[in-house]
Amino acid sequence: MGKRNARRLLVFLLLATCAPGLWALSAPAAAAGGQAALLARVAQLEQQAASARLAADNSWMLTSTVLVLMMTGPGLALFYGGLVRKKNVLGTMMQSFAMMAIVTVIWALFSFSLAFGTGTSLLGGLQYVFLRGVGGGANPAYAPTIPFETFMVYQLMFAIITPALISGAFAERMKFSAMALFLALWSVVVYCPMAHMVWGAGGLLNAVGGVFPTLDFAGGTVVHLTSGVSALVCALYLGRRRGLGEEAMPPHSVVLSFIGACMLWVGWFGFNAGSALAAGTLATSAFVATQFGAAAAALGWGAAEWLRAGKPSALGAISGAVAGLVAITPAAGYVGPMAALAIGAAAGVFCYFMVAVVKAKFGYDDSLDAFGVHGAGGMLGAVLTGVFASSLVNPIFKDAQGRPLAAGWLEGNAHQMLNQLAGVGIAVALATVGTLAILKFVDLTVGLRVSQEHEEQGLDLSQHGEEGYYGESPAY
């Protein structure tokens, strides 16, 4: 064998002997590199999934925000505007529009912080004044999958419509300046504390950790009960419209009110289903409950009116639908479809009774039935939420180990009724005392009622110098 062949044989033997060891040394490094690549890929997929969820949830919440704003203008503006006399249509619609501007500014300056900042159990702190710290990042305490700024602007729409609802009680007789000052103060003194107590982190009535955990999915106590009770206080404080009972004061355009009510119904899906704060199954459940509650209430009111008056009216049908929407609001994310039908039917009959019988018996002038629909409907809905709330829809009742319990009187509902009643009581007390104090202050500073001459002339001309219908007599 030559030297060259001998060297080749030696190299071959060395490689055959050392190769297994070299492979053993390199395998862990290769495995570690593959594992790192896999972990990086998983992290990337998780980030992409989180981004997709944020985009989907944020899209739904921005859509819901638009729907809730539509409830005030044009929904409530048209609904209330059609119910007053022709000479007051613009003045009435301006009250809703004014809240869209006034409350927005107050909310940006400090109201959002008072409602959702970290403070006491009764009122939020000041860390979010001028919207400091409210940006594109999520706040896990409220909505972990959408920007905190989206949550802020969505809640703004609730803060806008709530005081606007009160205007139905003093329609056709309060000065525009008094209305603007009164409702601006009310949004701070009454709305902000109530919103914090029910929805704010650490709130007295918060469903998670509150002293009296009150179930209010989308605003039965925060929005409708407080505004409805305040509306009754306003009606009693201001007194009746001049000429009421001596001259006819029918709605000047039920057509406008009909359109407005339909817009309210559509917008209410953003109000209730949007309160899930995510585009998931809970939003679907609240959406279904909203539709079923409104439909059942429209039929309930219509049937009661048909039996009592001999015929169902268009105004009664749309009023019943709104009553059902009010009553299902606190329960929307906690009850199933059949419970929603029951709540809606009860609300339709009960609110008709409050409007057609109770108001007539006591003689107060709740001009557009803000208390009869929103106050009474909100109170009924808050109580019935405790009756029908189910952990099968939303895991609200848990055992000592934190495991969900199915709904049932022995598994949470009986105790929850006490919490609901506590929430109702606190809302009524706050709205009553706060509204009285603000009315007295406004009355002493700028005065509340228009003069007799201006009331006879109408709010459109006396307060705004224009008419809703040029070329026609504004007197009716």
pLDDT along the chain (476 residues), means of 10: 56 51 52 74 75 87 98 97 96 97 98 97 96 95 95 98 97 96 98 98 93 94 97 97 89 97 98 96 97 98 96 97 98 96 98 96 95 97 94 71 48 81 97 98 97 95 93 54
278, amino acid identity = A
457: tokens are 């002339």
Domain ranges of the chain: 44-464
Q: Judge contact between 116 and 155, C-beta under 8 A.
A: yes
Q: How far apart are CA 368 and CA 109, in angstroms?
A: 32
Q: What is the pTM of this model?
A: 0.89
Q: What is the pLDDT of residue 28?
A: 59
Alpha-carbon span 222 to 163, nearest angstrom: 11
Q: Give the distance from CA 70 to its chain's centroid.
A: 13
Superfamily of domain 44-464: Ammonium transporter AmtB like domains (1.10.3430.10)
On the question of a cis peptide bond just before residue 395, with omega within 30 degrees of 0, the verdict is: no
Amino acid 52: pLDDT: 77
